[in-house]
Amino acid sequence: MRRYDASQIEPKWQRVWEEEGLYRASDDPADERPRFYALDMFPYPSGDLHMGHAEAFSGGDTVARFRALQGYNVMHPVGWDSFGLNAENAAIKRQIHPKEWTYANIDQQAASFKRMGMSFDWSRMVRTSDPEYYRWTQWLFLRFFERGLAYRKKAPVNWCPKDQTVLANEQVIQGACERCGTLVERRDLTQWFFKITDYAQRLLDDIDTLVEWPERVLTMQRNWIGRSEGAHVTFTIDETGDEVRIFTTRPDTLWGVTFFVFAVEHPLVQKLAELGGSWETVQPLIEEVRATPLTYREQADTKEGVALGVHAVNPVNGEKVPCFVAPYVLMEYGTGAIMAVPGHDERDFAFARSHDVPVRVVIQPDGVETLDGDTMSEAYPGEGSMVSSGPFEGERTPGSIAKVAAWLADEGRGEAAVTFRLRDWLLSRQRYWGAPIPIVHCDRCGEVAVPETELPVLLPDDVDFQPGGESPLARHPSWSQVACPKCGGDARRDTDTMDTFVDSSWYLFRYCSPGYDGGPFRREDVDRWMPVSQYTGGVEHAILHLLYTRFFTKVLHDIGLVGFTEPFPRLMNQGQVIYGGASMSKTKGNIVEPMPLVERWGADTVRLIMLFAGPFEDDIDWKLIAGDPDKRPGVTAWLGRAFAAVDEAVARGADVAEPESLRRLTHRTIKGVTEDLERYRFNTAISKLQVLTNEMRSALDAGGGAMGAAGVLPQLLAPFAPFAAEELWREVLGNRSSVHVSSWPSFDEALAAEDTVTLVVQVDGKVRDKVEVPSDASEEACLELARASESARRTIAERGIAKEIVRAPKLVNFVTKR
């Protein structure tokens, strides 16, 4: 009898597949198959593949293989996001060149991907640190530059003292560097930005078209863009006549303004403080705030602040209210000054109570006893009717907001306005391992684009890349000295490099035109393959990468380079692989590596463990699913049973009659697995295949045949366990060509129909799940399905099972160890 032995099977087929060029997407225009672009988020080459890669790529590969079997012309490319801080820091630590470190890791990851049986089209491979690639990153930067979408400005920026570089706001998590966890500082530097804010409304509007994205990702994108409707209102400083514009989402509360607050960086602050006699107390506050990381200030103490000694005139009623300067008002958001309405805003209320400023109620909620500004203990930010509000007495929210805004415009005191939380994308980095910014600075001509014919601006190898505050490229003795492309005079190259998120914002387009040297990609190639049919990757990219790529796509569309505005209408996020409830990390010493497991048990086993562990989007806790490291994994044992069953069925031949029940189950399994794969329910599909295997065994043990089932099991198995499926298909069933270029089996609806009953799944006698099962389901079948129940599994968690009680087909009860 044929034994299942991954170490014999897998290297063999890996070689054959490579020789046969099995996974090449066809660019032949005469190829009439529908196209399917299966895209996985490309990895950073930091070390070998980790568990997160194994999980994500197992899912993405299953989708690609399934679609190919269904008859699609599938493009499933791979590449590396190979510039960036990760590689640079790792190289510095090991005292080798980032290039050497990066490319060695790419080689290792590539070998591991092949070992895992990923169906990549290697002819399309992209590495963002290759000059052939970043030439076009630079070219695209220049397209942005010429349209005014890339510009420089001096701005307060987040500075990571450890990485010695600026970080985008998006790269600062709770005040700390996303990469290294160091508390971020604030510096004022001249930096390059992409004007993503010009696209804020379109980025927001088009979210509505992304109906096949996870809802939580859409919510995160909406919140990040952060659109607010309201009004701009102009206040006047009584003592100087300066006009100060503010933005408010609640113009209906204008009559409740009792003070006015400036951000510390507001350009009027010093002048007003000197005039008001408060500079001595204001100056230390400014210094203190300037030393605080930008992102920390979003949680600033709302009680802190100093009176400026001047007054602002409220344009709706002419009242003069005191002006303050306070850290809770941010220069980066809105206009750097606010009207304060303590009766109806929590932060203003906290400030007012600690600075003895009156609180005035101008919105009265329905059905509540009248609020009193002197005695209320918290602000009322909700809806209601306007009171003490001049001409608007009795007007109700939300209609009142638009009415007041319209009135402000008529009176010339303001106008309706929209603001966004989204800031421009800070893209320059003072680091070495990135694409140089293709700009020359000339004292006479200013910022001059490097001519297209001189791209790429090559990153020199001989650079002292130790971080040191200024860009490493600036320390190179000659690299930055260049003749101005416009006037020919002495000029300097820009010595910053681009954020790696720029590189990863267009790699998906490059896959469509590998090796093309007439542009970043050919329009006809992109039109043929894109938008992406299915994008798979981690939810950690829910905001930045996805938003930036959406932005790039819209700009490419506006330039006329592509014909669509959204790059990936369908997105699937895998869960994280964690250990004992916590993320895997070196410091916790709980890292499990996939490749040693592949060597020990085989790639098919690792893929199946990942896909069978639960719904793809849920986290996998390795501690719960791994079991005894020396015991053969359950999925490996199942592959062994599948091998034995197919082998025996073939030996017995097609002449021995197959039981009707197995024939029916085979059709039901084809139907069920097809439906599950359409919805990326990998775990339930695998459990159906296990049930089929068990029924084949029963039929064979009873002296019957099982050839019908044996003929399709390898095909149904192929997306999940490509090596084992191939071995069964070619070696056991004797097919000439690969199972992966065969046609997905079809099923007979009538045979697939079934009488079902409800199987109740209990844990310790309590109902945890109900599953529809065939009325003739065996004990084993019921048990398999019950074991696959997510809610039962969650309840059992770490307790372990002491006993399984089965009353087929109606009940399975798991008794836990406790």
Distance CA 2, CA 22 (A): 26
Please state at what angle helix 682-701 crosses helix 634-652, rounded to 10 degrees. Answer: 40
Question: By C-beta, is 173 or 801 nearer to Zn ion?
Answer: 173
Structure tokens at 633: 């994994």
Q: How far is CA 201 from the centre of its chain?
A: 20
Does 180 contact Zn ion by CB under 5 A?
A: yes
Contact between 450 and Zn ion (CB under 5 A)?
Answer: no
Min dist. Cβ of residue 110 to Zn ion (A): 28
Give least dist CB 439 to Zn ion, A: 12
Stretch that binds Zn ion, among 162-170, 324-332, 563-571, 609-617 (CB under 5 A): 162-170
What letter would DSSP give residue 723? H
Give the closest residue to 38 by CA, choosing from 789, 491, 690, 677.
677
User: Which of 547, 501, 573 is closest to 224 using CA atoms?
Assistant: 547
Which one, 87 or 484, has the nearer CB to Zn ion? 484
Q: Toward Zn ion, which CB reaches closer, 244 or 482? A: 482
Segment 472-501, which members bind Zn ion (CB under 5 A)? Answer: 484, 486-487
Half-sphere exposure of 233 (CA within 13 A, CB side): 29
Q: Choose one: 351-359, 382-390, 440-448, 513-521; the region binding Zn ion (CB under 5 A).
A: 440-448
Comparing CA positions, the residue from 754, 629, 775, 576 lying closest to residue 51 is 576
CA distance 233 to 145: 33
Residue 160 interacts with Zn ion (CB under 5 A)?
yes
Task: State the minimum distance, in angstroms, from the CB of residue 291 to Zn ion.
Answer: 18
Please give the Cα distance from 72 to 686 (Å, whole number): 22
Q: Does 363 bind Zn ion (CB under 5 A)?
A: no
Q: Which is nearer to Zn ion, 182 or 223 (CB)?
A: 182
CB of 86 to Zn ion, least distance (A): 11
Q: By C-beta, is 445 or 732 nearer to Zn ion?
A: 445
Q: Which residues contact 243 (CB under 8 A, 6 or more apart)?
A: 234, 235, 236, 237
Stretch that binds Zn ion, among 154-162, 227-235, 757-765, 773-781 (CB under 5 A): 154-162
Please give the Cα distance from 749 to 664 (Å, whole number). 10
| Binding residue for Zn ion, selected from 55, 61, 163, 727, defined by CB under 5 A | 163
Whether the Cβ atoms of residue 626 and residue 592 lie closer than 8 Å to each other: yes
DSSP label at 211? T
Considering only CA atoms, which of 747, 745, 759 is closest in space to residue 811?
A: 759
Give residue 433's identity as a one-letter amino acid code: W
Q: Which of 586, 818 has the CB closer to Zn ion?
A: 586
**Distance in Å, CB of 495 to Zn ion, minimum:** 17
Nearer to Zn ion, 427 or 484 (CB): 484
Residue of 535, 742, 749 lying closest to 71 (CA atoms): 742
Spell out the residues 6+ positions from residue 699 whose beta carbon is closer than 8 angstroms to its own.
658, 659, 662, 705, 706, 709
> Closest distance between Zn ion and the C-beta of residue 492, in Å?
11
User: Closest CB to Zn ion among 175 and 365?
Assistant: 175
Classify strands 385-386 and 363-364 as parallel, antiparallel or unpaired: antiparallel
Query: Could you say whether residue 271 binds Zn ion (CB under 5 A)?
Result: no
Q: Which stretch binds Zn ion (CB under 5 A): 250-258, 445-453, 604-612, 646-654?
A: 445-453
Does residue 442 bind Zn ion (CB under 5 A)? yes
In the window 181-210, what residues touch Zn ion (CB under 5 A)? 182
Strand extents, DSSP E, 19-112: 35-40, 73-75, 79-80
CB atoms inside a 10 Å sphere around CB 660 = 10
Which DSSP symbol is given to 370? P
* Binding range to Zn ion, per CB under 5 A, among 227-235, 376-384, 439-447, 754-762: 439-447
Q: How far is the CB of 184 from Zn ion (least distance, A)?
A: 8
Residue 5 or 490 with smaller CB distance to Zn ion? 490
Judged by beta carbon, residue 162 or residue 271, the one nearer Zn ion is 162
Stretch that binds Zn ion, among 177-185, 228-236, 354-362, 396-404 (CB under 5 A): 177-185
Site string for Zn ion, 374-403 (x = CB under 5 A): ------------------------------
One residue of 2, 12, 99, 179 binding Zn ion per CB under 5 A: 179
Size of the site for Zn ion (CB under 5 A): 13
Q: Work out how close the CB of 483 gets to Zn ion at its nearest, in angstroms, rounded to a whole number.
A: 8
Residue from the set 445, 474, 592, 757 that interacts with Zn ion by CB under 5 A: 445
Task: Pick from 6, 110, 177, 786 the residue near Zn ion by CB under 5 A.
Answer: 177
If the CB atoms of residues 434 and 537 are measured against Zn ion, the closer one turns out to be: 434
Amino acid, single-letter form, for residue 591: I
Binding of residue 451 to Zn ion (CB under 5 A):
no
Helix axes 603-612, 51-69, angle to 10 degrees: 90
Angle at 762 between CA 757 and CA 768, to 5 degrees: 90
**Shortest Cβ distance from residue 496 to Zn ion (Å)?**
17
Smallest CA-to-CA distance from 88 within 164, 170, 183, 140 is with 164
The residue among 86 and 789 lying less far from Zn ion, judged by its C-beta, is 86
86/137 with CB nearer Zn ion = 86
Residue number with CB closer to Zn ion (442 or 584): 442
Q: Which of 426, 453, 449 is nearest to 438 (CA)?
A: 449
**Sheet of strand 425-426, all strands in order from the earlier edge strand to the far edge:** 165-167, 150-160, 185-194, 425-426
Quote the least distance from Cβ 487 to Zn ion, whole Å: 3
Least distance in angstroms from the C-beta of 174 to Zn ion = 13
Judged by phi (left if over 0) then psi (alpha if -120 to 50, else beta), residue 339 lies in beta
Which part of the chain contacts Zn ion (CB under 5 A), choosing from 36-44, 159-167, 257-265, 270-278? Answer: 159-167
162 binding Zn ion? (CB under 5 A): yes
Q: State both tokens at 681.
A: 């329910």
Residue for token digits 């530097």?
189
Binding site for Zn ion (CB under 5 A): 160, 162-163, 177, 179-180, 182, 442, 444-445, 484, 486-487
